[in-house]
Amino acid sequence: MRLLVSAIIVLLITVSIAVIARNDPGYILISHGTFKLETTLTLAAITLALGFALLYYLIRLLVNAWDMPRRMRVWQRNRRMNRARTALTRGLIQLEEGEWQTAEQTLIKYADLGEPPLLHYLAAARAAQRLGAYERRDNYLRLAHQSTPGADIAVGLTQAELQLSHHQLEQALATLRHLRQLAPKHSYVLKLLMKLYSELHDWRALLELMPELRKRHIIDVAEADRLETHAYAEVITRAARTQDMQSLYDNWRRIPKRLRTADEILLSYTQQLRILGEELQCEAVIREALKNHWNESLIYQYGLIQGPDPAKQLAYAEDLLKQHPKNAVLLLTLGRLAARNRLWGKARTYLEASVGISARTETYQELGGLLEQMDEPEMAREYYRKGLLSVISSAALAAKWAKPGLQQPLIEALPNPHENKQT
């Protein structure tokens, strides 16, 4: 449309000039010494216009000819970059489609054409990782670092991710520590360190990292509490392995008060107290914890305490039975405590009530041992047989569901086939 309008305007101007020139063509005389040139104004104007146009295009032609090598280089560079971009896109698609060998070849073939070739080398490193070619992977990462100065974080993060996925934990730790020196506040570096410390079971290092994780909001509050609780529980367990009670107490005092009431930490602490022979301290901690909330794991632990006053333990547990009359774990604990007090009949009543609610293998075992004490070998064998059947049944049920495609949490969530529902 614009071209048509321009053509019409030029045509109108030309016609106007032609009409004017026809009525009065004008006259020009150019004289220099003996030289004289006479012509009409119209012809002189046309000649000048044509001469100007010819000179203009001649100058442009010379300029373009002079600039041709540079323009050729630019064209070639753009062509190479377009080919490199196309190869990068194709290589990434092949990488996502699982064609790792083809992807690696495509990415490396055109890596030198890209500006910069960083993305080619990083993607090729991922392809080599998938192929198990770890030497080539490391070489691509080295080339990526050399190709783009200043891309240390990007290259290092890729290297750390690949090392973690290949379970090269010590190498990944060295890489991430170096990255943290370069970028102490980098969120993804901190997140990978959190994951790595968890895999290495370096709980103290993880606890030192937790304030920064919370400050940067790298994980939500609930996940941070869960992770910190587990880390403190593991630290407690490890401290007890030294058989040093002072170390256990010191680690317990380092735990923030808001986390000391967490079930996992309480269970770990009370287990270690009981194992190290601190029965009275263990009993006191469990009683204090049960004042705040009910916890079956602690109730179970309470039944294993070999305290100096089993009658007092039994009386405390029987008080709990008033609020939880049909709790199988509490009844098992009561059965054990009653047996420790040599109250055989009461122990049998509690254990049989526990089996009636939830048929636990260890409850059958306790009943069998109790009935042997009461000189009832036939009944004791019957309970041992039921306990054995319970173990076999549970194992068979787990094997039935433990097939490819079914996750372990599903198996763990299956109900006990011998468990009776409470009404």
DSSP 201: T
Binning pLDDT at 50, 70 and 90, where does residue 27 land?
low
pLDDT of residue 275: 87
Q: What is the pLDDT of residues 55-92, one digit of tens each?
A: 888 888 888 788 778 777 766 667 777 777 788 888 88
* C-alpha pair distances (Å), 249 with each of 110, 195, 273: 62, 28, 10
pLDDT bracket for residue 418 (50, 70, 90): very low
Question: Looking at the chain, how many residues does it have?
Answer: 423
119-128, 168-177, 373-382, 408-417: lowest mean pLDDT where? 408-417
State residue 69's pLDDT score: 81
Structure confidence by residue, pLDDT tens digits, 104-147:
888 888 787 766 788 888 899 999 998 989 899 999 999 888 88
Res. 42: pLDDT tops 80: no
d(CA 230, CA 206): 10
- CB count within 10 Å of CB 251 equals 19
* Residue 146: per-residue pLDDT: 87
State whether CATH 1.10.150.120 applies to domain 309-423: no
pLDDT at 87: 81
User: What pLDDT does 405 receive?
Assistant: 45
Structure tokens at 286: 């469990």
Average pLDDT over residues 148-153: 86
pLDDT tens-digit readout, 223-271: 999 999 999 999 998 888 777 788 888 888 889 888 888 889 999 999 9
Local structure of residue 111 (DSSP, 8 states): G
The alpha helices in 201-309, defined as continuous H runs, are 203-215, 221-241, 245-254, 257-260, 263-275, 279-292, 296-302
Whole-angstrom Cα distance, residue 293 to residue 290? 5
Q: What does the DSSP 8-state code read for residue 38?
A: E
39: DSSP letter: E
Domain ranges of the chain: 72-149, 309-423
* Token pair belonging to 363: 């409850």
Distance of CA 120 to the CA centre of its chain: 24
Residue among 180, 90, 104 at smallest CA distance from 143: 104
Of residues 57 and 315, more confidently modeled? 315
Instruction: Check: CB of residue 305 under 8 Å from CB of residue 275.
Output: no
Cis before residue 116, ω within 30 degrees of 0?
Answer: yes
pLDDT in tens, 388-408: 887 776 666 556 545 544 444
- Give the 3-state secondary structure of 58-108: HHHHHHHHHHHHHHHHHHHHHHHHHHHHHHHHHHHHHHHCCCHHHHHHHHH
User: What integer pLDDT is reported at residue 96 of this predicted model?
Assistant: 86
Tokens for 235, please give them: 């630290």
pLDDT of residue 248: 87
The predicted-structure confidence for 338-349, as pLDDT tens digits, reads as follows 999 999 999 999
Confidence (pLDDT) at 19: 66
pLDDT surpasses 50 at 23: yes
Specify the CATH number for 72-149; select among 1.10.1740, 1.10.3470, 3.30.720, 1.25.40: 1.25.40
Amino acid (1-letter code) at residue 306 = Q
pLDDT computed for residue 22 by the predictor: 64
pLDDT at 414: 33
Q: Which of 8-12, 160-164, 352-356, 375-379 has the weakest average pLDDT?
A: 8-12
| pLDDT number for residue 406 | 42
Average pLDDT of the chain to the nearest whole number: 83
The distance in angstroms from the start CA to the end CA of the chain is 86
**pLDDT per position as a tens digit, 346-363:** 999 999 999 889 888 888
**Would the CATH topology of 72-149 be identical to that of 309-423?**
yes
Reported confidence tier of residue 25, pLDDT bands at 50, 70, 90: low
d(CA 364, CA 379): 11
Confidence of residue 311 (pLDDT cuts 50, 70, 90): very high
Q: What are the pLDDT digits (tens) for 186-226? A: 999 999 999 999 999 999 999 999 999 999 999 999 999 99
Contact 278, 306 (CB under 8 A): no
Of 214 and 413, which is predicted with more confidence?
Answer: 214
pLDDT of residue 422: 38
pLDDT at 81: 72
pTM above 0.75, yes or no: no
DSSP 419: P
Going by C-alpha positions, the residue among 77, 59, 169 that lies closest to residue 115 is 77
Contact in structure between 272 and 251 (CB atoms under 8 Å):
no
